[in-house]
Amino acid sequence: MAGPQTETSQTKGLTRYLSHLPAVLGVLLLIGALYVVQKEFRHLRLKDIGDALRAIPTAALVFSFVWTILSYFILTFYDRLGTIYAGHKVSYGRVAFASFCAYSLAHNLGFAAVSGAAVRYRLYAHWGLTPFQIGKTVAFCSLTFALGGLVLGGAILFIEPTTIPFFGQHVPVLALHAVGAVLWAIVIAYITLSRVLGSFHLRGHEIDLPRWRMALLQVVLATVDVAVTATIFYALLPNAPGLTWTIFLGVYVASYTAGLAANLPGGIGVFDTAMLFGLEPYVDAPHIVGAIVVFRLYYYIIPLFLAGGLFAGNEILLRGGALARVFGMGPSRAGPATRWSEPDFAVAASTGLVGICGAMLLTLGVIAPNTDYSWLDPEFADIAFQAGQFVPSLIGAGLVIMALGLSQRVNLAWGVTIALLLVGAGFAATQDNQLWVVVMLILCAASLAPFRSCFYRHASLLSGPFEGSTAMSLLVLVICVLALVLARHQTVLLNNNAWWAVVMAREVPNSVRFAVASAVILASIAIWLLVRPGRVRALPWDAAAARRLFMVGSKTPVHADGLITGEADRAALPFRRVGRVLLGLGDPAGAEADKISAVWRLRDLARQEGLDPAFWRVGPDLLKVYADLGLTPLPLDADGQIVESDGTPDPSRRYLVCMAERDLNALIVLLPELAAIPAK
C-alpha cells in the first residue's frame, strides 16, 4: 500500500506545482517584455506617440473599425457550429449574443477557455442546453480558435520564418520549417480522424468528433478569423518598405500567441512588446505604439463595455431585479434566487483595469519625457524631482500585486488599490503631457470604489491571531522600504530611474542594483503574504468536528473526511475527497456573515491539495459566491439527478456546483453514491 500512496502524494504535489506554472510564465514574460522595451525603445516619447496617433488617416480608422465588427461577426459562427455539434441548435441571434459576451470578456481578462466558458454556461443553460451539450460547445469553440493559429502559424514558418520575433533570427530555418510541418500535421490529423473515426477514447472518456466537413469548416473559419483580426492592426500602420501583409501576419501570430501564453489581461505588455520588437525593422516605434493603442481600443476596450452593458440588460430582463443586484453590489432583497451565477462584468473589468494601470506605471518611465518642474511650487517640485519614475514604478508593482488580491475578493486589497491609484495619479499630475495617465488612474479608482461589498474576504493580516509569519512579513516590508529610500540618492539623477531601470543601469554600482532588486522582490512577496488569505488548515472528521458542526446550526448527520471553518470560526462546512475533487457537503452552516469565507477557504484548501472544489446539494442563497469561484451550478431533482432548467427562480431548488468543463463527467458517475448523502 505504501508504494501507491507515495505515488499519489507525488502526483498531487506535482499537480499543485504545475497549477502555478501559468502565473510564473506570465510574470517571466512580463519581466522579459520590460527588459526588451527598456533596451530597444528607451528613446520613445509621449509627444512622438501623440503625433503618430494623429497621423493615422481617417480612412484607416474607419477600415479597422469595420473589420473589427467583421471579426466579431466571424466569431459568432464558432458558437453556431458548436451548438450544432453539441446536438442542440440555437438561433443565430442567441449564439451571436453569447459569442460576443464570451469573447469580449475572454479577450480582456485572459484565461480565455475559463472566462468564456462561464458566460456560455450561464446563457446556454437558460436556453435549454444540458451541461454536456454546453461542455461540448465550449470545447468546440476553444479548439476552433486554436486551429486558425496552427494553420497560419505553420504557413508563416514556411513562407516567412525569419519574421518571428525573438526566434526568427536565431533559430535555424530548417528547424522552423520542421515546427511548421508539425503544426500542419496536427490540423491534417484532426481532419483525418474526423473522417475516419466518429469518436475515440481518452483517459476513460469517449470523445465525439465532428463530421469531417464540419472539421474542415472549422479550420477555414478560424483561419479567416485570425487573418481578419491581423488586418485590423495592419491597416493602422503607415506604409513601410518591405512590410508586406504576410510578414506582418507572422509578427502578429507570434505576438498574439505570446500574449495568450502569458495569461495576463489582454496579454498586456507581452503582446505589445513582441509587436514592437517584430515590427521595429520596418516601422518606427511611435507609429507602432499608436497602432497598438487604437487596436486595443477597437478590439478590447469598446467590445468589453458593450458586452457588459448588454449582459447586464439581459440579466435585468431575466430576473427583473435592480441594476445593483445584477452587478453584485450587496445582498439581494428580492430573494436569493435572483443572484444567479452571472459573471460580474463590472468587478471583473475593474480588476483587469487595475492590472493594466499597474503595467502602465511600471513601463511609463520608458516613454516619459525629461520633465521641467519649474511650473510647480518649489516644495512640490523638489518632491516630484526626487520621486522621478522611481516611486510611480513602485506603485505599478504594488498595483499588479493588488490585482491578484482583488481576484481573490480580498477587502484589504480593495482599499489599498484605491489609495495606490490616487497616489499614482498625484505623481503623474506633476509630469508634463501626462494628463491622460491621471485621468485613467482616477477613472480606474472611480470604477472600483462602488463595489466594496464584492470584496468580502479578510486578508491574512486582518484575520486570525497575529502570528510570527505576519510579524516577519511586516518587518521585511519595513526594511525593504528603508533600503529603497537609502538607494534614492544614487539613482535620482538617472534619466530613467524606475526601479527596474535602476537594476539594469550599468552606471549604477552593482551593490545598489542588487539592493534595489532584492528590496522590490522581497517587499512584493511580503505584501502578497499580508494581503492574501491565510493558509487553510482543515479539521479531521471526528466526534469533536461533528459536535462543532452541530453547534453552528447543522442538524443533519453526515459522513465526511474533514471540516472547514470560516475565518471568524462561526461557520463550518464538512467535505469529502472524491477523486480529484474536494466536495463540500451542502452550504456552510452557521452565521451568515461567515459562510462566504468558509466557501472560499474550502476552495483554498482544494488548491493547496491540488484538487478542484465542488459543492453538493447547495441552495440558491450562495450561487453568486460559487460563481465567483468559476463554478457552474447544475440543478438537481429530488433524487439527486441533474435536470434541465429554464432558469426560473426556485428557492427550493438544490444544485451540484462544480467546474463542469473538467469534473462533471467524473461526478456524474458518482451521483448514485452522492444522492445517498442526507440533504441539509
Domain count for the chain, please give it: 3
One domain for residues 555 and 473 = no
| CATH number of domain containing 625 | 3.40.630
More confident position, 181 or 170:
181
* Type of residue at 655: Y
pLDDT-based confidence at residue 620 (cuts at 50, 70, 90):
confident
Q: Would the pTM of this model clear 0.75, i.e. be above it?
A: no
204 pLDDT more than 60: no
One domain for residues 523 and 543 = no
Find the Cα–Cα–Cα–Cα dihedral 595, 596, 601, 604, rounded to 10°: 160
Whole-number pLDDT of residue 364:
64
List pLDDT tens digits, range 178-193: 888 898 898 898 888 8
458 pLDDT more than 50: yes
In a domain, 464, yes or no: yes
In a domain, 120, yes or no: no
No. of H helices and E strands in the chain?
A: 27, 10
One domain for residues 477 and 584 = no
Reading the block at residue 649, the C-alpha cell is 427562480
**Which of these three, 299, 320, 335, is where a domain ends?**
299
* Type of residue at 589: A
491 pLDDT more than 80: no
**Which of these three, 476, 498, 531, is where a domain ends?**
531
Whole-number pLDDT of residue 379:
54
Whole-number pLDDT of residue 367:
46
* Type of residue at 273: T
CA distances from 637 to 121, 341, 659, 668, 677 (A): 19, 19, 20, 14, 14
**Which of these three, 299, 329, 347, is where a domain ends?**
299
**In what helix (H) or strand (E) does residue 636 lie, and over which residues does it extend?**
strand 632-636
Note whether 574 and 556 are within 8 A (CB).
Answer: no
One domain for residues 495 and 545 = no
pLDDT-based confidence at residue 120 (cuts at 50, 70, 90):
confident
Give one DSSP letter per residue of 343-357, joined into a string: --HHHHHHHHHHHHH
- Averaged over 355-379, what is the pLDDT? 61
Q: How many CA atoms lie within 13 A of 451 on its CB side?
A: 27
7 pLDDT more than 50: no
pLDDT > 70: percent of the chain: 72
| Nearest-5° Cα angle at 392, 512 to 280 | 85
One domain for residues 260 and 399 = no
- Which residues 6+ apart lie within 8 Å of 408 measured at CB? 457, 532, 533, 600
In a domain, 127, yes or no: no
One domain for residues 270 and 369 = no
- What is the rounded distance in angstroms from the CA atom of residue 57 to the CA atom of residue 62? 9
- Averaged over 411-439, what is the pLDDT? 83
One domain for residues 462 and 588 = no
- Averaged over 522-533, what is the pLDDT? 85
More confident position, 72 or 43:
72
Coil/strand/helix, residue 316: helix
**In what helix (H) or strand (E) does residue 10 lie, and over which residues does it extend?**
helix 2-18
372 pLDDT more than 60: no
Find the domain containing 366 and state its range. Answer: 357-531
Q: Which of 172-181, 335-344, 466-475, 476-485 has the lowest mean pLDDT?
A: 335-344
Q: Could you tell me the end-to-end alpha-carbon distance of the chain, in angstroms, rounded to an integer?
A: 36
328 pLDDT more than 50: no
One domain for residues 493 and 556 = no
- What is the rounded distance in angstroms from the CA atom of residue 268 to the CA atom of residue 259? 7
195 pLDDT more than 50: yes
More confident position, 604 or 326:
604
- DSSP 8-state class, residue 654: E
- What is the rounded distance in angstroms from the CA atom of residue 353 to the CA atom of residue 26? 17
More confident position, 331 or 200:
200
Phi, psi of 79, rounded to the nearest 5 degrees:
-70, -35
pLDDT-based confidence at residue 330 (cuts at 50, 70, 90):
very low
Note whether 615 and 574 are within 8 A (CB).
Answer: no
Reading the block at residue 225, the C-alpha cell is 478569423
Name the residue among 314, 252, 248 with its Cα closest to residue 283: 248
Q: How far is CA 99 from the centre of its chain?
A: 18
- Which residues 6+ apart lie within 8 Å of 613 measured at CB? 581, 582, 584, 602, 603, 606, 629, 631, 658, 659
70 pLDDT more than 90: yes
| Nearest-5° Cα angle at 35, 29 to 39 | 145
- Averaged over 600-629, what is the pLDDT? 85
Buried residues in 602-632 as b, exposed as e (16+ CB within 10 A): bbbbbbebbbbbbbbbbbbbbbbbbbbbbbb
Q: How far is CA 246 from the centre of its chain?
A: 31
The highest-confidence range among 19-28, 245-254, 362-371, 405-414, by mean pLDDT, is 245-254
Whole-number pLDDT of residue 41:
52
Name the residue among 351, 342, 303, 383 with its Cα closest to residue 101: 303
Reading the block at residue 12, the C-alpha cell is 498531487
pLDDT-based confidence at residue 235 (cuts at 50, 70, 90):
very high
In a domain, 117, yes or no: no
- What is the rounded distance in angstroms from the CA atom of residue 116 to the CA atom of residue 179? 29
Whole-number pLDDT of residue 338:
33
One domain for residues 240 and 376 = no
Buried residues in 466-496 as b, exposed as e (16+ CB within 10 A): eeeebeebeebbeebeebbeebbebbeebeb
71 pLDDT more than 90: yes
One domain for residues 454 and 498 = yes
- What is the rounded distance in angstroms from the CA atom of residue 347 to the CA atom of residue 628? 10
In a domain, 647, yes or no: yes
Q: Which of 53-62, 434-443, 460-469 has the lowest mean pLDDT?
A: 460-469
pLDDT-based confidence at residue 337 (cuts at 50, 70, 90):
very low
What residues form DSSP beta bridges with 575?
Answer: 562, 584
pLDDT > 90: percent of the chain: 9
One domain for residues 543 and 514 = no
613 pLDDT more than 80: yes
In a domain, 327, yes or no: no
Contacts 24+ apart (CB under 8 A), 33-38: 33/269, 33/270, 33/272, 33/273, 33/274, 34/269, 34/273, 34/362, 34/363, 34/500, 35/504, 36/273, 36/276, 36/277, 37/273, 37/276, 37/363, 37/366, 38/366, 38/496, 38/500, 38/501, 38/504
- What is the rounded distance in angstroms from the CA atom of residue 294 to the CA atom of residue 236? 8
- Averaged over 514-542, what is the pLDDT? 85
- What is the rounded distance in angstroms from the CA atom of residue 417 to the CA atom of residue 422? 9
In a domain, 316, yes or no: no
- Averaged over 374-387, what is the pLDDT? 54
Whole-number pLDDT of residue 165:
65
- What is the rounded distance in angstroms from the CA atom of residue 582 to the CA atom of residue 580? 7
Name the residue among 355, 477, 485 with its Cα closest to residue 420: 355
One domain for residues 482 and 571 = no
Q: Which of 243-247, 305-309, 417-421 has the lowest mean pLDDT?
A: 305-309
In a domain, 626, yes or no: yes
- Averaged over 351-369, what is the pLDDT? 69
Q: Is 428 exposed, middle or buried (0-12, 13-18, 19+ CB in 10 A)?
A: buried
Reading the block at residue 265, the C-alpha cell is 489581461
The strand pair at 581-585 and 612-618 is best described as: parallel
The highest-confidence range among 11-15, 247-251, 433-437, 567-571, by mean pLDDT, is 247-251
Phi, psi of 225, rounded to the nearest 5 degrees:
-60, -50
